[in-house]
Amino acid sequence: MRTKVQSQIQARVGVETGSEAKSAGERSKRSDGIRIFEGRLVRFNLAPTIARQLTGRRTTFRYSKGEVVFFSGAAADMVYCVRKGMVALYAPEENGNRVMVRIAGPGDLLGYTNVLGEERSKHLWEAHARSNCELAVIERDHITRTLQSVDREVLLQLFDRINTEWSQQVERWVSFLGLDYRQRLTRVINELAERFGTAEARGILLVPEFTHSDFAEMIASSRPMASKLMSELIEEGVFIQEGRQYIVPIK
């Protein structure tokens, strides 16, 4: 039985494969998530040629804002890499609600895929397009075949780094749940500024626009609570509001 993603690969219009992927790579800019991801692999001691082989056979999907990428519990037979835009990862709760775990941007992977072991992994979280975005999808079997030519020691180091990053994400989420709402909000905005911000005279400008409803979803609170906390933090000078954007001041 084909998975939902496998069906999408056969049906979705506007995908990019084979020689199209090669020509698109020639046109891509440094902000393209594929180039960022390849750079990370090289920093993990993987040869540039192998990094390009891994990403060279891919399918690009275009998702509209709010569209579901995958649900929690879905088979993780594909590796998803954000090329452009942002994707929100959510942890579903037993009561049917969901809490935003993190926002992934260009070069980030969505979830964890076991590409070496026999056991197929499943997605822990669910993913939704936070904006209009493009995702590069690479099949698990292609990655497994490509990595067969890699030195065993380099391969072990690579997956140790990947497993460490994944563990850090899970640990961050567990520790996050132990914080109060104010601490959660402060951490969320600082993390967003670090990943999606740009330096300006007063500090780091958070480029994407986020509403109080967005912040409420990120800290698992009500919108009125998020609004109250934001007002307090701005009044205390922890953050600066610039229209619909926020600045993390220089300490």
Are residues 42 and 86 in contact, defined by beta-carbon separation less than 8 angstroms?
Answer: no
146 and 215: one domain? Answer: no
Per-residue pLDDT of the chain (251 residues; tens, 9 = 90+): 344 454 454 444 344 444 444 444 444 444 689 999 999 889 888 889 999 998 999 999 999 999 999 998 888 888 899 999 999 999 887 777 788 888 999 999 997 776 555 567 788 889 999 999 999 999 988 988 888 888 888 888 887 887 787 788 788 888 888 999 999 999 999 999 998 999 999 999 999 889 999 999 899 899 999 999 999 999 999 999 999 899 999 87
Q: What CA–CA distance (Å, rounded) separates 104 from 204?
A: 19
Query: Are the C-beta atoms of residues 82 and 137 closer than 8 Å to each other?
Result: no
Phi, psi of 133 (to 5 degrees): -145, 170
- Helix, strand, coil shares of the chain, percent, nearest 5, are 45, 25, 35
The two structure tokens encoding residue 78:
């594909």
Q: What predicted TM-score, i.e. pTM, was given to this entire model?
A: 0.77
Residues 59 and 13 in one domain: yes
Q: Taking the C-alpha atoms of 89, 93, 98 and 103 in order, what is their torsion angle to the nearest 10 degrees? A: -20
CATH number, domain of 192, equals: 1.10.10.10
- Are 95 and 172 in the same domain? yes
16 and 138 in a common domain: yes
Same domain for 138 and 63? yes
Count the neighbouring beta carbons within 10 Å of the beta carbon of residue 244.
Answer: 8
- 214 is in which domain, residue-wise? 181-249
Contact 166, 110 (CB under 8 A): no
